[in-house]
Amino acid sequence: MAVKHKEANYLAIDLVDPMLGLAKRKIEEVYKKEQKEIDNVILTRFDIERILLILDKTDAVDGIFINFCNPWPRGKHHKKRLTYTRQLEHYKEFLSPNGKIYFKTDDDNLFEESLIYFKQAGFKVQKVTRNLQEEPNFWENIETEHEKMFMEQGIKIKACVAHLEAN
């Protein structure tokens, strides 16, 4: 998306070095193919639970993309989910007033429970699909390796777009 939208800056965050390495290689490959300089992407290893140490209201983030995060299926671990209510409250601290969260996953339970978390945190889910592959115009989707792998296994990709409800 960054190469298509040079007017926007992208910050990719993960705790897993191999995922950041894969992202770096993919970014370099796409920019080289387009013969463009990488000047709007930063990759960083950081614990998203501590995101407020590096982002705040002055950053005015227009979009948060949460792609195939760990579903933390055991109940006692739900609070570690990137879509858990507490984490959504953190995102509200730097999400611009018109900002949106774009979320996609292969995990049914994570998806359905995340729809509840969004509502609990004061977000309105404006679009929902339980089969992203059948809705090519759902959003400007860039297929990830995980997404391709899951679809090849016959697993449907669930996705939603949420924004803060007006006060």
20: domain range? 1-46
Query: 167 pLDDT exceeds 60?
Result: no
Nearest in space to 114 (alpha carbons), one of 155, 160, 74, 75:
160
**pLDDT band at residue 146, thresholds of 50, 70 and 90?**
confident
In a domain, 71, yes or no: yes
> Are 151 and 92 in the same domain?
yes
In a domain, 88, yes or no: yes
The residue whose two tokens read 């960054």 is 2
> Are 40 and 70 in the same domain?
no
In a domain, 51, yes or no: no
Number of domains in the chain: 2
Q: Which pLDDT value is given to residue 136?
A: 84
> Are 15 and 85 in the same domain?
no
In a domain, 52, yes or no: no
For 118, residues 6+ apart whose C-beta sits below 8 A from its C-beta are 83, 88, 101, 124, 125, 160, 162
pLDDT in tens, 114-143: 999 999 999 999 999 999 999 989 999 888
For range 25-33, the mean pLDDT = 95
> Are 155 and 81 in the same domain?
yes
> Are 4 and 24 in the same domain?
yes
> Are 26 and 86 in the same domain?
no
In a domain, 7, yes or no: yes
Nearest in space to 42 (alpha carbons), one of 4, 2, 99, 92:
2
Percent of the chain exceeding pLDDT 70 equals 99
Query: 166 pLDDT exceeds 70?
Result: no
For range 85-90, the mean pLDDT = 97
What average pLDDT does the structure give for the chain?
94
Nearest in space to 124 (alpha carbons), one of 81, 160, 82:
160
> Are 4 and 66 in the same domain?
no
pTM of the model: 0.92
Structural tokens at position 111: 């998806």
